[in-house]
Structure 1
Amino acid sequence: MTARQTKWHGRIEGAAGRCSVAGCRKAGEFRAPLTPGGFDGPGSWRLLCLDHVREHNSRYNYFAGMSPEEIEAAQAPIAGWERETRAFAAGAGRGPAWRDFTDPLDAIAVRFRPMDAGQDLQRFSARERDALRVLGLKDNADLHAVRKRYSELVRLYHPDRNGGDRGHEKKLGEVLAAWQLLRGAAAFS
């Protein structure tokens, strides 16, 4: 079942009052503003019948009481957009991972602390750097290089590739653990 379409947009269904124009006996079903809305809310309004709301709308002039300069400013294509906004720092980069902090305020403080000239933000945590060393990679490795090296080492140390020899089982476990840690690293997200 479709919703009933009303013929007149803006009609207040079930309005119980009469038109607020003196002498009019029709139902007041449409809102007409008495004062314009602003920061404090929609302003005040009164109920009018269809004939009187049409008359009200035909007399309404948004620009009434404005100077020619104010009218021109209100009609400008960028009217309302001339406020200055805060410039964002170019190349601000990602902040620290939230999981590395127990107190969120510490993470915020680190994110906005000015860096020393020689200081560089570490891309990987200490555990992630250890995992990279297990794979034989440096700190500048990307996820593709990590995945490729992981595949090579699994093929090298897996018992099925070594005739069932389990002598490299410990090294294979380290490679698997390194991959599990690095695949979810924030540096690759």
Structure 2
Amino acid sequence: MARTRAEYVDPTEPARPLTRCCDHEGCVAEGEFRAPRSRDKLNSYWWFCLEHVRAYNAAWNYYEGMSEAEIEADLRNDTVWQRPTWPLGWRLKMRDPLHILDDDDPDGSRHPRQRELTIEEKALAVFELDPPFTLVELKKRYKLLVKRHHPDANGGDKDSEERLKVINQAFALLKAKYFA
């Protein structure tokens, strides 16, 4: 292989500036400003003088010849710098053996946890009442439930006896809470 010699550069000689001529037909001014040749070749440039680059930019329309759908697709692609994207967020599948992060329930077997009712809410549910209510309404409802669930009226049924205990506790709680 033949050896080549490096070109000698004299450091005392001032550097020659590289100048380009304006690419506009018939213009001999210096082409200082670049402008893209086309939408498909954005890295290939025309070099214009100031007057002609202003005219070129005024007439330039990147989206000329594109349909609305193509423009929308190009804008969406521009928001991610023409890079591939992947879905983010809560729909991604992770290995979750305890199903702590599961939100989807395809077979309906899992239901979201409901908050536990307070003692007062349970007592109101026993009497099927919503505040505000009067002591007369509470006593009327109490008498109706006692007659319905009294063990003597139900032949000594143990379930009725337990239900009567719950009714008595709920009555005492609501009476103390709202009418003490």
TM over 0.5: no
Length-normalised TM-score, structure 2: 0.33
Length-normalised TM-score, structure 1: 0.32
